[in-house]
Chain A
Amino acid sequence: MKKRTVKKPARKTAAAGRPVRAAKTAPNGHDTQHAVEQFLYRQAELLDEKRWQDYIDLFAEDGMYWMPPEPSHATWDGMPAIFAEDKNLMTVRMKRVLHPDAWSQRPLWGTNHVVGNVVVERESPNGDVVARSRFHMMELRRDDVRHFAGLYIHHLKKTKDGYRIKLQRVDMTNAQAAFDYVLQVWV
């Protein structure tokens, strides 16, 4: 009796194409789960190290960084968005932050990202991947600490130089809360 109830949902999940265990093997023989995790950890590290250009370079030429104000939004196109940035706009943001007269950038400011709960949701035969994960970011600005947390959904394109981001969707749990000050760069 018990065995049956355990097995049944497992079969259903596999049929729906959403593996519970993500230890899936990609066509090239590498462990997709491991590769995606390493990519996400590296991306978070670039933010914490303020390596903005390297961060932008992780995006495909037509890549988008998108943070909707609420999870029901299905597109950024024609919708209010906290972020909806292509590489050009990301470059504006980077150049602003690096400008010596970006007054709000002067104070002591740092972040610490932790990324986890990585699930490879879908992998195409060409190696492109959709993955979701959870993040928690602590930010220090002067003496003030803020916390931001939520869900990342990465649409990753497989290239010879590794993954590139076609779309990074960021559903921040506190997106609808009043912002105590603003967000200066990507979360």
Chain B
Amino acid sequence: MLHERIPNLANFVEPDRVRREVYTDAAIFEMEMERIHEHVWIYCGHETQVPKAGDYYTTRIGRQPMLMVRGKDGKVNVLYNRCPHRGSMMCGDRSGNAGEFFRCSYHSWTFHHDGKLRAIPMMESGYAGTRWTRDNPDCNMKRAARVENYRGFVFASLAAEGPGLLEFLGRSKVAFDDICDRSPEGEVEIVPNCFRVIQHSNWKIFLENQLDALHPSVTHQSTGRAAREVELEIEKRTGKIPLSYHMLSAFSTVTIEKWDNFQTLNYPYGHCILTGYMGLRPQDPDTLEYERVLAKAYGEKRKEEILSTNIHHVLIYPGLSVQSPLQQLRAVRPLGVDKTLTEIWHFRLKGAPEPIYRRALAYYNLVNSPSTLINADDLENFWKAHQGLSSDGGDWVSFHRHYGRDAEKDGIVETAPNCGTSEAPMRNQMKAWTQYMASGK
């Protein structure tokens, strides 16, 4: 057993530091997949990705290739992408429509959209007298143990036991409320495009970076300054600054000291929120029109509540990074101990004026596309981090920044004022990691 090969796992994590092997050891990675990713609730996709019966999308939960598919009854199922006969993958495309039923390309076994066996060639003549009978559950495509849908966002867990989705999400569910409530109809739909980018680094390095408020003004200063220069030049020429530039130039205008003004809120199961956002509520005619539409739908008071939701980023451990004010998310799919895929999606606020969609789209294209002006430098850092951690030059990763200043109440750690750059989110993630890894089976 793995835990016998790594008997002293408890010694790998201390409250303020972590052993480097946690990021680089292949055996620890396998154990993480088994005890964390293939155990907890993992985001599979949004229900609008599969609008019609038979529509499917392939995804991964830990090491398992999965299918998210819409059934004829309208329900979204999550199945292992595998034929129970000889183990062949059922759907080789990333997405598509299965038609009336799934059909294995190898021996033509067919299955309903919920995974139940439909037909096997020669079922009567070939299988009579064997233990492979129609009522044998092993004849079906295996289903994820649990599937839940929160406001259109579909999650699955491969473990039959454990907290329900809402209990698991706890307060981090605000990520989805904030996305949906910003629509006057309370709903979003997928923008049908997925940007997929591979990072040559451990999955935890990405997650730890998401709420690392110190890094933007260091890592992204080249883009911040470049955008600021061009922004000022445009202003000189035209008297106006395009809003989308602000999303880039803020990286140079928001200094390290200012980042400390924000706050992180750290929740059970490793989830975290970084508060504060830069200039998403300007007073231009488009925004004012949007506010008018929202007020009409919800009333003035509720509109104010919705628009003053103070979130920059929500991290749902271990696989999702949500920027709710911009209706974007990144799903993290570990491919190996040093290889991680991110799937980057954007959502449209149903019923919101077009310019509001376009403003968020500019961020999706500039920051989250494969030509990103931002993540290029992040990915370089992640690669360097993984390379460095693979060396014998040191044993520990330091998470000491603002350690000891966190205030914990009811299991929630709030960083103290002027400690926005605290490494509390990393400490909180490793706390959850330790609990998952110790739990075993």
Contact residues of B: prevailing secondary structure:
helix
Contacts A84-B365, A102-B377, A178-B341; is A183 near B230 (CB within 8 Å)? no
- Taking a contact as CB atoms under 8 Å apart, the answer to whether A95 and B225 are in contact is yes
- Taking a contact as CB atoms under 8 Å apart, the answer to whether B226 and A92 are in contact is yes
Residues in A with CB closer than 8 Å to B242 are 88
Residues in B with CB closer than 8 Å to A91 are 226, 230
A18 within 8 A of B: no
- Taking a contact as CB atoms under 8 Å apart, the answer to whether A80 and B361 are in contact is yes
Residues in B with CB closer than 8 Å to A82 are 195, 365, 369-371
- Taking a contact as CB atoms under 8 Å apart, the answer to whether B365 and A81 are in contact is yes
A122 within 8 A of B: no
Contact of B377 among A94, A95, A104 (CB under 8 A): A104
Residues in B with CB closer than 8 Å to A83 are 369, 371
Contacts A78-B361, A103-B377, A183-B371; is A95 near B226 (CB within 8 Å)? yes
Contact of B370 among A70, A99, A104, A182 (CB under 8 A): A182
A51 within 8 A of B: no
- Taking a contact as CB atoms under 8 Å apart, the answer to whether A67 and B191 are in contact is no
B242 nearest in chain A by CB position: A88
B41 within 8 A of A: no
A69 within 8 A of B: yes
Q: Which size bracket describes the interface of B in this complex?
A: 35 or more
B237 nearest in chain A by CB position: A88
Residues in A with CB closer than 8 Å to B369 are 80-83
CA–CA, A176 and B349, complex, Å: 25
B375 within 8 A of A: yes
A93 within 8 A of B: yes
Q: Which residues of A in the span 43-93 have a Cβ within 8 Å of any Cβ on B? A: 67, 69-70, 78-84, 88-89, 91-93
A101 within 8 A of B: yes
Residues in A with CB closer than 8 Å to B377 are 102-104
Residues in A with CB closer than 8 Å to B223 are 92, 96, 102
A-B contact pairs, 9 of them (CB 8 A): A80-B365, A80-B369, A82-B195, A88-B234, A99-B221, A99-B225, A103-B219, A104-B376, A182-B376
